[in-house]
Amino acid sequence: MRLEWLEDIVAVMETGSFNAAATRRNVTQPAFSRRIRAIEDYVGTELFDRERKPVGLKPSIATHQDEIKQLVAGLKDLVYELRQQGRAANNRIVIASQHAITAARAPAIVEMFSGAIDVSIRLRSANRDECLALLVTKQADLLLNYQSASEANAEAEGYLERVNLGSEAFIPVFASHSIGLLNDFYARGELPIIAYPGDAFLGRIFNDELLPQIRSGEFVRQRIVTALTLAALQFAINAQGVAWVPESIAAEAIRAGLLFDLRDVLPFTTLTIAAMRLAGGHTDIQNLIWAEIVKHRVDG
């Protein structure tokens, strides 16, 4: 049964008149009467007692009037929800963001376009390889990740479009209140670190770019291994070891005096922040967002 038919029935129930119900439903009285007859033909029985004034449901039907009203309300809510979801789906994008970017940089990147474009955003946080997999399998529309200097300077793969959005330092930090403890380790030729797994992006950056710069007389001891930069940051604050993290993640703790920036004594490198999408075949909303991102391109 159609929702409008149920609304017609409720209109008669609440007004007690076919004329008043027709007015409420914005149709002529003859047209409304024909609709009521069509409903009764569909149901297979008369619904209204036309002999009584005001008009009411027949006694056998009247016992269901609360159910009819609840059904109308429920269907209206369902229709509204479906329409809302339909609008959201048309203006919805999924962003896959590397964990370290989600923590500190993603809000500002999203702000680039969310203020000017009516869009619903789902942010999925994962490691870099998983984020790329989400993009390639079209489970995400946009990818935010860090890239090494060599990656940033190379041409993107032919199936990808890339925009560089700036860079930041990947820096060593340690608990400010325990620098003396670190000096003691250092005096013994030992450097305790919070390490990343070797197969993770930041782990590869450390092993390939930073570890070779640490003087050979120091024994690097991996005290804790974690794939999460926020966990590495907290371990550094707790003086478990030196952690290398993106500067944006450590900035607040450094300002608060919880962490000491060790760039003067230990190596650091620079990471590029990139936005990426698959080439070709985009919706209007995806192209609008990409155009806003391109406006913030930082080359070189």
- Residues above pLDDT 70, as percent of the chain: 95
d(CA 277, CA 288): 13
pLDDT tens readout for residues 83-100: 656 555 567 889 999 999
How high is the pLDDT of residue 84?
56
Domain ranges, ordered by start, for the chain: 3-89, 92-300
Whether 40 and 47 have beta carbons less than 8 Å apart is answered as: yes
Most confident of 46-60, 97-111, 115-129, 166-180: 166-180
How high is the pLDDT of residue 202?
95
How high is the pLDDT of residue 1?
63
How high is the pLDDT of residue 69?
82
Domain 3-89, what fold? Arc Repressor Mutant, subunit A (1.10.10)
Stronger pLDDT, 294 or 51, i.e. the higher one? 294
pLDDT band at residue 272, thresholds of 50, 70 and 90?
Answer: very high
Of the given ranges (188-192, 210-214, 216-220), which has the lowest mean pLDDT?
216-220
Question: What's the whole-number mean pLDDT along residues 151-175?
Answer: 91
Stronger pLDDT, 215 or 190, i.e. the higher one? 190
Mean pLDDT of the chain: 88
Stronger pLDDT, 30 or 268, i.e. the higher one? 268
Class of domain 92-300: alpha beta
- Position 230 pLDDT exceeds 90: yes
d(CA 12, CA 54): 9
Kind of pairing, strands 142-147 and 92-98? parallel
pLDDT tens readout for residues 94-148: 999 999 999 888 888 888 877 777 788 889 999 999 999 999 998 999 999 999 9
The one-letter amino acid code at 10 reads: V
Stronger pLDDT, 226 or 55, i.e. the higher one? 226
How high is the pLDDT of residue 112?
80
- Residues above pLDDT 90, as percent of the chain: 47
Q: What's the predicted TM-score (pTM) here? A: 0.68
User: Pick from 268, 279, 49, 249: which is nearest to 143 by CA?
Assistant: 279
Question: What's the whole-number mean pLDDT along residues 190-197?
Answer: 95
Stronger pLDDT, 159 or 62, i.e. the higher one? 159
- Token match 């070797």: residue? 198
How high is the pLDDT of residue 280?
85
How high is the pLDDT of residue 86?
56
- Position 25 pLDDT exceeds 60: yes
- Position 165 pLDDT exceeds 60: yes
